[in-house]
Amino acid sequence: MYEAFFGLKAKPFQISTNPEFMWMGEKHREALATLKYGILDSKGFLLLTGDVGTGKTTLLHALLNTLDDDILWAVVPNPGLEQLDFFNFIARSYRMKKNKFTTKGAFLEAFGIFLRVAHNARKKVLLIIDEAQAIEPAMLEEIRLLSNIEKQYTKLLNIFFIGQNEFNELLVTQSMRALRQRITLSYHVEPLTRNETTAYIQHRLNVAGSSEDIFNASAVEEVMRFSKGYPRLINVICDHALLTGFVREIRNINGTIVRECARELAIAVPTEHKQQHAQQSAGPSAAAGPQSSKQPTLPDNPLKTKIPQGSPPSAAARTQRRQEPAATSKLRDFKSAPREYELRGRADDKIKPPYNITNRKYAEEIIAEFKPVDAKTFREGLDEIDLSRSSIVRTSLSRIFRASVNIQELMKVMDAEAERILSNDEMISLKQIKEKPKPAFLTVVIDLLWQEVARKYMTHRAQKALRILSPTESFHITDFPQVLISR
């Protein structure tokens, strides 16, 4: 639609993979070289991970295009299959003579013969599992056992996992230690940096036939703000911006246009859902009258919170709570606690809900600690700590690291991860990790995360105690000792 207006021969920002528009940054060339070396040297298990939209599938296609005919490869795009369906899919993909099996034993016998014939013909066999995070643990173990078909000193099968970050969380669990120890090469694809985003946009425009800088510096800055460096989101916002420029007959895309497109692409919540959510958040006091439109600000002292007046829970509500599983009850309480009391604080405090982090200083300290740390150093720091039984804490630290480029995003993530640690009963695990020796930058971050978790826990417990002691009266949490003594 807009190609002729901007002098393009094709749309430069299609979401579907197109080899002509392939852009290879330094990190992508490194990933490609690492993975190709692993295949050619028969390293066994390979791993490529990255968040949604970071370009893993594009890297896979680029890798497959570089492989010679002596590599027999098959891609399983959806590994969420039943065992026999999975085996039969592999047999058909490799064009084995027999590709319909009714028993696991029959498949393993035929697959073993196939691998040995390929080896004698000097061919390597590569099995690629895409969307690996969707694999059930039992199926993952079956895939691992396929690698046991081998000759002395020689791996007959290379298995290449491609998955989102959740797959790493699965691998660090104790039950997956056998597979984790067999992974000889791995690479994690990070989002693009500011400079890489600029080069990515210009490369795709040049391939599409443009010799001009259609997106100015402010537009690229807004694209980075919206996409956080994820190529898929870069394509979405840039395509939308070009369409908007065409409609308005503007040939140079600026930051204002990109910001408008970002607002249009935001997923809107229907009004009735907003009202329903507001009523649920307000609780019983919603029926008493309209609430003030003023947003509460965060207190300098998080303990100076006031419990609103209200009626005690009904007998039916108390019965329902007793019948709830403990985990469900805790999760509901922790999620609802911030909505059940009013936060009072300084008028100049700029932090607004849902950024319920205790102090902006926490986020500033974390950003300062992570500033000189790259992704590789961070992962090596995590590996120094035994987190095999604390995958939730490891994931929380990884999310905090990725969010440390933006203070508002970091405050939001810190708040969410503290709640997640509490709701999953990982507070003791975090305490144990806090006491272990670790790199200096992780020591500071884990201490701050512990303070936020502890604050949430103590605040919630004090609120709950006050509600039980006197549900119809209004108290400050700092009055808790006097209230307890008087009762």
The confidence score (pLDDT) of residue 396 equals 81
Superfamily for the 42-189 domain: P-loop containing nucleotide triphosphate hydrolases (3.40.50.300)
* Per-residue pLDDT at 143 exceeds 80: yes
CB 151 within 8 A of CB 13: no
On the 0-12 / 13-18 / 19+ scale of CB atoms within 10 A, 45 is buried
The confidence score (pLDDT) of residue 195 equals 92
The confidence score (pLDDT) of residue 462 equals 58
How far, in whole angstroms, is CA 387 from its chain's centroid? 18
Q: What is the DSSP letter of 251?
A: S
Distances (CA, A) of 309 to 306, 467, 472, 478: 9, 10, 5, 17
Count of CB atoms situated within 10 Å of the CB of 107: 23
Amino acid identity, residue 286? Answer: A
pLDDT tens, position by position, 238-290: 999 999 999 888 999 999 999 999 888 875 445 555 555 555 555 544 444 44
CB 171 within 8 A of CB 194: no
Averaged pLDDT, 80-103: 89
The confidence score (pLDDT) of residue 36 equals 86
Least confident of 303-307, 343-347, 408-412: 343-347
What are the beta bridge partners of residue 48?
A: 162, 187
Angle at 465 between CA 323 and CA 457, to 5 degrees: 85
Count of CB atoms situated within 10 Å of the CB of 313: 15
Q: Which of 166, 196, 171, 169 is nearest to 183 (CA)?
A: 171
Between strands 124-129 and 157-163, the pairing is parallel
pLDDT tens, position by position, 344-379: 333 333 333 333 444 566 677 777 777 777 777 887
The confidence score (pLDDT) of residue 108 equals 92
* Per-residue pLDDT at 486 exceeds 70: no
CB 438 within 8 A of CB 275: no
Q: CB-hemisphere CA count at 13 Å for 250?
A: 16
CA separation for the pair 34, 374 (Å, rounded): 19
Rounded to the nearest integer, the mean pLDDT of the chain is 75
Q: Which of 127, 129, 128, 118 is nearest to 70 (CA)?
A: 118
Domain extents in the chain: 42-189, 193-265, 296-487
The confidence score (pLDDT) of residue 159 equals 92
CA separation for the pair 207, 317 (Å, rounded): 63
Amino acid identity, residue 314? Answer: S
Task: List, in order, residues 6 or more apart from 294 with CB less than 8 Å away.
Answer: none
Least confident of 138-152, 275-289, 400-414: 275-289
How far, in whole angstroms, is CA 267 from its chain's centroid? 19
Q: Which of 367, 346, 484 is nearest to 414 (CA)?
A: 367
Q: Is 188 helix (H, G, I), strand (E, B) or coil?
A: strand
The confidence score (pLDDT) of residue 2 equals 85
CB 147 within 8 A of CB 183: no
Both structure tokens of 282: 């307000």
Select the highest-mean-pLDDT range: 61-65, 148-152, 263-267, 323-327.
61-65
**Residue 279 is inside which H or E element, if any?**
helix 271-282
pLDDT tens, position by position, 171-189: 888 888 888 888 888 888 8
* Per-residue pLDDT at 430 exceeds 70: yes
Residues in the chain: 487
The confidence score (pLDDT) of residue 371 equals 75
Handedness of CA 316, 317, 322, 327 (dihedral sign): positive
User: Is residue 460 very low, low, confident or very high in pLDDT (cuts 50, 70, 90)?
Assistant: low
How far, in whole angstroms, is CA 469 from its chain's centroid? 41
Give yes or no for a cis peptide into 137 (omega within 30° of 0): no
Least confident of 54-63, 200-209, 345-354: 345-354
Architecture of domain 193-265: Orthogonal Bundle (1.10)
Angle at 130 between CA 127 and CA 134, to 5 degrees: 120
Averaged pLDDT, 64-70: 87
- Domains 42-189 and 193-265 belong to one CATH topology: no
CB 263 within 8 A of CB 288: no
Q: Is the pTM of this model over 0.85?
A: no
The confidence score (pLDDT) of residue 278 equals 56
Axis-axis angle for helices 231-248, 217-227 (nearest 10): 130
Task: List, in order, residues 6 or more apart from 403 with CB less than 8 Å away.
Answer: 409, 410, 412, 413, 414
Distances (CA, A) of 415 to 55, 106, 162, 165: 29, 52, 30, 20
